[in-house]
Structure formats: C-alpha cells, structure tokens
Amino acid sequence: MPLSNDDVTLEAISPAANRTLTFDLPGLSVGHAEYEAGPTGCTAFLFDHGWTTSVDKRGGLVGTAGDYEWMHALCFAGGSLPGLEAATGVARELWSRREHSTNHMPLVNGAIIYDYGKRQNTIHPDRELGRAAVRAAVPGVIALGARGAGRSATVGKMRFAPEGGGQGAAFREFGGVRLLVVTVVNALGAAIGRDGSVVRGNFDPSTGARLRSISILAPGQTRPRLEDPKPTKNTTLTLVATDAKLTGRELGQFARQVHTSMARAIDPFHTSSDGDTLYAATSNQKQANTSPDILGMVAGEVAWDAVLSSFDD
C-alpha cells in the first residue's frame, strides 16, 4: 500500500520561495504550507472582514467546498478530494482566532488539484496543513513556482511525459483599481506564450520540440490516450482579486470573462479531464474609472502573465 498520512508523522513547513511576487492589495494576506514527505501543499488566502465572491466552474469534474458568495478565506490544495481537509483547517484556525464564537463562523471556500502523478504516496494536505498556511499568511507577497498548492503540479499530459506546473501570480493597477491574479496550473494541456508557441508541456524528446495540442491530434499522428476524467487528474485553480466596486451580477460576468480568456494561455482548457475553477473576489473599496468589461479584458492579460510565471526553470 502507498504511504499515507496515517503512516507517518508529518511536519508542516512554509519554505522560502526562490521567486515571489509583491502586490499592493489591502485586506488580502497569503500563506502557504507544505508536507515535504509528499511533496504536496496548500495556499491560503485571507480576506479581512470578508469579500464578495463569485465562482466560475468550467472543468468537467471540479472539486470544491463551500462555494460561498461572501468569503473570509480561500484555500487551494493538492491531494485531490482528501485535500479538501485543508480548507477545514483554514476555517478551524480562523475560528480559533474568534474564540470559537458561534456568532462569527468564518466562511471558507476550498478547491483542490490532483497532484499524485509524479509521486508514489497518498500524502495529502489535511487540517493541520491548512492551519499552518493561515499562520504563515502575510500581506503583499506570494510564492511562485513549485510552492504551496502548486508543489507537485504538472502540465502537458496529452501524450508526452508531464512537466512541472506550479503556482503563478501577476498584479496590475488599472482604471484606478488593483487587480491580482493567482493561478495553480495543473493542466492536461500545455502553456502557451505570448507569441503562440508552447512554453511548457507537450515536449517531444525525439525532436526536442514542443507541439501545439492540435498537432498531436493531427491526421497521421498517434492518437493519445487522454486522461480518465474520473477522478479528474488535471485542474487549474485561479483567484482574481480586486478592490473595484462591482455588483454581484458584474462580478459574476467578470469571473466568466477572465476564466474564458485563460484559454489563450492553456491549450486545451476546460476539458472533461480538467476541474478548472476560478474565484473572483472584491473588497468593493474603489470605484473604477472604466467599465467592468474593460477591467475583465485587462484582468485576462494579467491572468496570462500569472500562468507564465507559474513554472520554475
């Protein structure tokens, strides 16, 4: 039987990242924690006083918990469905800070990726790891690459050996408001650069070339065996956070627009073997001097940058 959480004493760590992104978005703190024995991890996002939220689910088989339209925290985690335990740990840690008041229950959303592809154990993020991520949370900085929920993420699994994925992020100020996108890329498809070339995944070792997914499926090519959608083994999880004032309807459309735009960066996207889920959250602090549609266009560009920043060299 593969090694599991029941077999070993696990130590939650929050290792320093080789790469980080700094951002200026008041009210948001981010922490990550990992089990090196996996390796696997989780990333916790803490929203001061709670932020308005919209969830856009596009994958064929998603794994989420909560789905609240107002959240105090969000937890991304590895470990597939057992990894949702990390979200309960985030809730437990926040609740303890409120002295376990039954009148102030924290609302926590959670989503998971399947990150068992390159490891020979079933160690997963659990309640203690979620609590550790909350304790490690700081404002204004997030780890990039194979850290947190992206610790064992992979991409490009249609035909060739998968390559390392990870956690990416990008930040921009536009229209008088702030936009932060964080994404954990664990996709069936490959990552696409700004020039249309494949930058991660679909690497053919016989030629040294990276192929577009449609080329793998072209006539005359060996038909690949796509991933079994049950359980889903591929997922891209994304958070788009802003301080722009948006109505519930506007925030929902904003989430759909940004999520749709990410198909330019990940090819293919939203397949039956992906659990792609995006959370849009706002503190509703500032009135933008442009329309929600324009904000969505800009946030889509930020999301593309976030995808490209997720991979370690």
Catalytic residues: 235
The rounded distance, in Å, linking the Cα atoms of 168 and 21 is: 9
* Strand pairing report for 40-57 and 203-204: unpaired
Cα torsion angle, 171, 175, 178, 180, sign: negative
CA atoms within 13 A on the CB side of 197: 5
Structure tokens at 185: 């890329």
Residue type, 261: S
The rounded distance, in Å, linking the Cα atoms of 91 and 46 is: 10
The rounded distance, in Å, linking the Cα atoms of 64 and 203 is: 31
Closest among 293, 267, 275, 304 to 57, alpha carbons compared: 275
Query: Which runs of consecutive H residues, i.e. helices, occur in the chain?
Result: 85-97, 127-135, 213-216, 248-261, 292-308
DSSP label of 138: E
* DSSP notation for 182-234: EEEEE-SSEEE-TTS-EEES-EETTTTEE--HHHHTSTTSPPP-PPPSSS--B
Phi-psi region of 5 (alpha: psi -120 to 50; beta: other; left: phi over 0): alpha
264 burial class (0-12, 13-18, 19+ CB within 10 angstroms)?
middle
Peptide bond preceding 162: is omega within 30 degrees of 0, i.e. cis?
Answer: no
